[in-house]
Homo-oligomer: A and B are copies of this chain.
Amino acid sequence: MGKNAIGLGVVGLGRAFTLMLPTFTQDERIRLVAGTDPRESARLMFSKDFNANAYSTIDELCADPAVEVVYIASPHQFHAAHVRIAAAAGKHILVEKPLAIDIEDCTAIVNAIDASSVGLIVGHSHSFNGPVLHARRLLQSGEFGAVHMLNSLNYTDFLYRPRRPEELDTRLGGGVVFSQAAHQIDIIRLLGGGLVQSVRACTGQWDPGRPTESAYSALLTFDNGAFASVTYSGYGHYDSDELLGNIGEMGIEKNAAGYGAARKKLAQISSPAAEATLKAAGNYGGANYQFKPANPARFHQHFGHLVVSASNADLRLTPEGVVIYSDEKRYLLPTPKSRVPRAEVIDEVWNVVRDNAAPTHGAAWARATTEVCLAILKSAETGTDIKMQFQVRPS
């Protein structure tokens, strides 16, 4: 652990934290100094594992002078309130996506951050993936000319992974639009220039047992004339990782024998309460939890099939890097792998906290992504184009 490591206080020791933990423990720029969670088991484990303070409330955690950055990994609907508490306490913030689930909450956060001296980064999301940042740099270089068209699709088993009841209730931030479009749109905005002009979308909801939007297709226009088509399905049938060499979202090779595993496992569960319990059990502090140190990744994380068409080439993002399809040839530009998975998130936190840089994934940026996500729901409901008002360029 580095001497100058950033003291991190964690709000919510559930799924998101569980997925970030290998990064926090393996990246020497981070020191876990405090945590809070409603579950006593998680607090006790945290305190023991990291020789750190475990608090019952976020207020106590924010009062801890060892905490420099508050990592907010609570359920979506609590993000806005938790951000305000941390900002008021003068702490920098790393908050999981989505920033919030309505524009008013996002704006309250943007204003709170603007009025404070702290920085806010929204992450992890897959727009931190190495190949995404790599493709952005390539496009910014101008070598391939302007971006004209983006196409992204991702078919997963999202809906059948164990869920808490609110994750299946759109009004509470459930469904794939808040959870998965938040990744997909963030990537598309980063590569398309950021300024979405209009959104036309349809959503799908076709498992009556799990009644929330679990699929969508959206057509976005950008102010620079580019357009994007994005499609997602979480219905656990077709798996678009097939198109990516059977490398999963987390950059791990998949086993063909695992087909349908999420549904099979879920079928053995008797009730929503039992499902929530199962989900919690696999997370930090849960009965089935096991720490898995991240192996040096052979592949990058990804978010499905993605092609960016620019004037002089198409760029396809893969778990290995960016494939360039120019006029003359096709070639892979490998994206260098970080020693620690998701180190790109810590890069951005570090730049903001230690170097006073403006975040790429800041509050106004994340509000703009949330605006597009909300427009997907709204367009599907009204059958019309939804015009955007809060779009910003990536910094």
Contact = CB atoms under 8 A, between A and B. Distances in A.
B229 A309 contact: no
Contacts of A383: 198, 221, 385
A121 to B, nearest CB: 31
Interface stretch (A50-58, A295-303, A311-319): A311-319
A236 B309 CA distance: 11
A273 interface: no
Contacts of A198: 383
Contact of A206 (B206, B235, B311, B330): B311
B217 A202 contact: no
A215 interface: yes
A374 interface: no
A329 B260 CA distance: 7
Stoichiometry (number of copies): 2
Interface in A138-152: 146, 148-149, 151
18 contacts: A146-B206, A148-B204, A151-B231, A201-B219, A202-B221, A204-B309, A206-B311, A217-B229, A219-B229, A221-B383, A229-B229, A235-B309, A237-B309, A238-B316, A259-B330, A264-B328, A383-B385, A385-B385
A263 interface: yes
A258 to B, nearest CB: 11
A305 B328 CA distance: 24
Given A148-B204, A149-B231, A235-B314, 7 more contacts: A149-B233, A206-B309, A219-B229, A229-B229, A237-B313, A238-B309, A260-B328
B329 A149 contact: no
A6 interface: no
